[in-house]
Amino acid sequence: MSVDAATVRRIAHLARIAVKESEVSHLQGELNAMLAFVEQLSEVNVEGVEPMTSVMPMEMKKRPDVVNDGEIADDIVRNAPETQGHFFLVPKVVE
């Protein structure tokens, strides 16, 4: 896949990046180099390779799945204008 100058301008517009006309050809070359690298990666045989999140084998840290109130309910509602118990009171917005 090849990127032309019009596509570079469109990408810059969508990304809200100001690109001078003199920079378009340089960016076109960089984008084409990136796309060529991605195409090169698609040629790599990954059959039988397990997905991984890191080069070092890691286990996710897990905590027990226990339902609790966080033990800070009083701190959370302390600055609310109106509360009832450990709940925020808000004005009714639906008739």
Q: What is the pLDDT along the chain (95 residues), one digit of tens a residue?
A: 789 999 999 999 999 999 999 999 999 999 999 999 999 998 999 999 888 878 888 788 888 888 887 888 888 888 899 998 888 999 889 87
- Asked, for residue 72, whether it belongs to a domain, the answer is no
Task: Provide φ and ψ at 51, rounded to 5°.
Answer: -65, 150
Work out the burial of residue 72: count CB atoms within 10 Å of its CB; fewer than 13 is exposed, 13-18 middle, 19 or more buried.
Answer: exposed
Q: What is the pLDDT of residue 37?
A: 95
- Asked, for residue 37, whether it belongs to a domain, the answer is yes
Q: What is the pLDDT of residue 60?
A: 81
What residues make up the domain containing 30?
Answer: 5-41
- Asked, for residue 26, whether it belongs to a domain, the answer is yes
- Asked, for residue 67, whether it belongs to a domain, the answer is no
- Asked, for residue 28, whether it belongs to a domain, the answer is yes
Please tell me the total count of domains within the chain.
Answer: 1
